[in-house]
Amino acid sequence: MTKTLIHGAEVLVGNDQFAEVSLMIDGDRIAAILPKGETVTDAKALDASGRLIIPGLVNGHTHSHGALSRGGVPDDATLETFLSGSAWLNANRSHDDLSLCAQLSAVELIRKGCTACFDLFIELPGPTVDGTHTVAHAYHEVGLRAVVAPMIADQTIYQALPGLLDAFDGPLKDAVAALSLPDWDSTMAVCSEALRDWPVPMDRVRPGIGPTIPLHCSDPFLQACARLSDDIGVPLQTHLAETRMQQIMAQRKYGTSLAEHLSELGVLSPRFSGAHGVWLSDVEMELLAEAEAGISHNPMSNLRIGSGIAPVRRMADAGVTMGIGTDASNTSDGQNMFEATRLAATLSRAQSIDSTEWVRTREAFDMATTGSARLLGFDRLGQIAEGWLADLVFLDAGYCHYTPRRALLDQIVFAETGAAVREVMIAGRMVFAGDRILTLDETALRSRALAAAERITHANAEARVMNAAAAAVVKGFCLRNCAAH
């Protein structure tokens, strides 16, 4: 393999301090960190003068299917009204659409300094082997590191939430009652085949499994997901305590909280992570910590759809592995991990006047790199150190965020937006440079995306009207139940 010696930059070594050192890249790894000026005769030289090099950010939770739904979520949507009112956005999609979404998400993530993601993608009415493999191929071809997890359920929102269907009447009740998902045995058979017979090398793109929301999955289904995760050693991620409504419904449905119910079912493990965790109790945090499980904090969507501000400090102090995610481009309006990292640090300041309880910049950066990498199940990812994976982001040291320079890591966490990203390397290979993705034609990708979005909008016009009517009923149901607790 070709060796590359990157020199001339200031490098964030060990997520701790910037230093003027050179990086010896051998294959997909950082083989050595060398003193400034040292040469290696059998290595290709890469002059990175004027650059700040940081490890690539790792997105602990996203949904690639949201890429074709951007702009389709009303500005007054909550999670529950989004699930009922925007379902039409995911209907009538082909396998080519699944690939297109993964490519769109990957391109935006790379352009904004992210080199890996945990993607819970959806395929309706249920997952297929070909669809799952199509998404895996898309990430492999773009070059982004990813965990590809079919997002699955065996109950619709109308079946999942106790009492919701009774809030409907007339033809609308008949319409939502008629909605259904495949039985869990069929879904698990597809997932088992798709994940066991993986179509691409697993050094960069790996399988995972994503039971969408515990409430939307029967107990045997959740236990089957956990068994598959254990049998083949893949990460499992679900949406956990994202909204107050979820915890209220959990008490009604199970007589306990969501995490306690998952613990009783044997679902919690070191491979388990929950997205959001906004409404977790201290007891639930302790259960997650005991199981060595994790949480992906998604502050952008938590704010966008009014879910709340997650108790990140309490979760971290309880020993829960913490990562950071963007969530989807529909509910977060983008895939900017720099923005998510900044919010992870700054929102904690709105929760306490005691600065010892704040998420400090180093903590937030670690969550967005090594923390999220643990949720994805990747070892030696998210830090610049010898033997670690060569996923690197090159920032323009002369950009306005860094003039003057005093506390570089603080300036990156508090100010960087992705605007200073100039090059991105994944697994030792440049995938972004010269303001273009090097692995695909972005102009052609945009044309495909515009055509697909127009086709999906027209094909689902009737479903859009029905979804909007259903969302209005769901909104009233949620408001009444939350007001009563």
| Residue labelled with tokens 């409430």 | 215
Q: What is the pLDDT of residue 2?
A: 82
Using CA atoms, how far apart are residues 431 and 436, in angstroms rounded to an integer?
A: 9
Name the one residue in this structure whose structure tokens are 């007891």.
283
User: How does pLDDT run along the chain (485 residues), one tens digit per residue?
Assistant: 589 999 999 999 999 999 999 999 999 999 999 999 898 989 999 999 999 999 999 999 999 999 999 999 999 999 999 999 999 999 999 999 999 999 999 999 999 999 999 999 999 999 999 999 999 999 999 999 999 999 999 999 999 999 999 999 999 999 999 999 999 999 999 999 999 999 999 999 999 999 999 999 999 999 999 999 999 999 999 999 999 999 999 999 999 999 999 999 999 999 999 999 999 999 999 999 999 999 999 999 999 999 999 999 999 999 999 999 999 999 999 999 999 999 999 999 999 999 999 999 999 999 999 999 999 999 999 999 999 999 999 999 999 999 999 999 999 999 999 999 999 999 999 999 999 999 999 999 999 999 999 999 999 999 999 999 999 999 999 999 999 87
How far is C-alpha 221 from the chain's CA centre? 23
Quick one: pLDDT at residue 484? 85
Please tell me the predicted confidence (pLDDT) of residue 1.
57
Tell me, what amino acid is at 149? Answer: A
Place of tokens 């790199």: 369
What's this model's pTM, rounded to 2 decimal places? 0.97
Give the pLDDT score at 80: 97
| Residue at token pair 């991105």 | 424
From CA 390, how far away is CA 382, in angstroms rounded? Answer: 9
Contacts of 306 (CB under 8 A, 6+ apart): 78
